[in-house]
Amino acid sequence: MTYTLDETLGLERISDDVFKSQTDQRYWNLIGPYGGWIAALMIKAVIADRSDARFEPVALTIDFMKAPAEGEIILRRRCDRAGRTAAFWRVDMENPDGTPCARAMVTLAPHRETLVFSTQKMPDVPPPQAVERFRTEVLPVKWAHLYETRVIKGKMGEITPDAHSLTWVREADQRPLDHVSLTALCDSPFPRLFLATGRPSNISTITMTIYFHAPMAELEEIGGDHLLADARCERSVGGFFDQHTSFYSTQGNLVAASQQMVWYDREA
């Protein structure tokens, strides 16, 4: 089966570390591609042809500098250092005229048999099947229609004073989870400002960091199942707010955590 995300993440090699790709309207936001799609494309540029499959993503930081223009985009990557325990990559995305759009730092490492512990516990919530599916077609952004979203707390259009949400989410076509699709999904929670005010406004994520806690073997066990997105905001002030999200499997394991800083209109 061909999945929508994979159809849109084409990479054409120009040279060893330079690729060409295309934006896709299916993952369009209001003024450009969905940030999660951009991040997924950039991490794919690093891991698609890695020589050692044991090296998996453990962290990604991406800065969104300017929305790519519709059409062709260029990705340039380089490995700053690769050792026995970690490899450090940089990826730059630009328009064909050289205008920078995004930059990402990707850390890869092999997982080992070590002590397993966690201070995070998944909230006590009803299972996905017991939660009504959110009608994403009412949202003005195209990418949201590609996710199956079941909101437990923090519905769009309603004021949520603490800007906290609990949402079951997965790709609508139930694409099996891997680090590429997980990267895209980590940008999917509704913006905290929209929940706090009960209405949309002009916003733009300027930086996002993802920590991948689950190795590929664990993601394969999750397959196309839901993840619980537990999203919060610590503070909104001066035209910026943060967004922190923990993603759990239905078995209660912490799969990933994302942090964002988001610009918003002063009049919001």
Judge contact between 75 and 38, C-beta under 8 A: no
> Is it the case that residue 102 has pLDDT exceeding 80?
yes
What's the average model confidence in pLDDT over 165-181? 97
Among 65, 82, 56, residue whose Cα is nearest residue 183: 56
Q: Tell me the mean pLDDT in the region 38-57.
A: 92
Confidence (pLDDT) at 219: 97
For the record, the structure tokens of 105 come out as 């730092």
Instruction: Answer yes or no: is pLDDT of 30 > 90.
Output: no
Q: Flag whether pLDDT at 176 surpasses 60.
A: yes
138 near 200, Cβ under 8 Å?
A: no
Sign of CA dihedral 109, 115, 116, 120: negative
Predicted local distance difference test score (pLDDT) of residue 116:
84
Residue 91 pLDDT > 60, yes or no? yes
| Contact in structure between 257 and 213 (CB atoms under 8 Å) | yes
Query: With contact defined as beta carbons under 8 Å apart, do 172 and 146 qualify?
Result: yes
* Residues in Cβ contact with 118 at an 8 Å cutoff, skipping those fewer than 6 apart: 254
- Res 267: pLDDT: 60
The residue ranking higher by pLDDT, 53 or 131, is 131
Rounded distance between C-alpha atoms, residue 106 and residue 75, angstroms: 14
Q: What is the pLDDT of residue 35?
A: 96
Mean of pLDDT over the chain: 95
pLDDT-derived band of residue 112, with 50, 70 and 90 as boundaries?
Answer: confident
Q: What does the block give as tokens for 48?
A: 């698609």
Identify whether the C-beta of residue 242 lies closer than 8 Å to the C-beta of residue 257. no
Q: What is the pTM of this model?
A: 0.95
* pLDDT in the model for residue 268: 52
Burial class (CB in 10 A: 0-12, 13-18, 19+), 105: middle
Q: Other CB atoms closer than 10 Å to residue 193's CB: what's the count?
A: 22
pLDDT of residue 195: 94
Domains and CATH numbers, the chain: 4-111+125-264 (2.40.160.210)
pLDDT at 13 over 70: yes
The predicted pLDDT at position 180 comes to: 98
Lowest mean pLDDT among 45-54, 104-113, 208-217, 256-265: 45-54
Most confident of 132-136, 170-174, 200-204: 170-174
Nearest to 49 by CA among 84, 16, 8, 88: 16
Phi, psi of 133 (to 5 degrees): -75, 130
CB 9 within 8 A of CB 73: no
Q: What is the per-residue pLDDT across 148-166, written as a single tens digit (0 to 9) for each?
A: 999 999 998 899 999 999 9
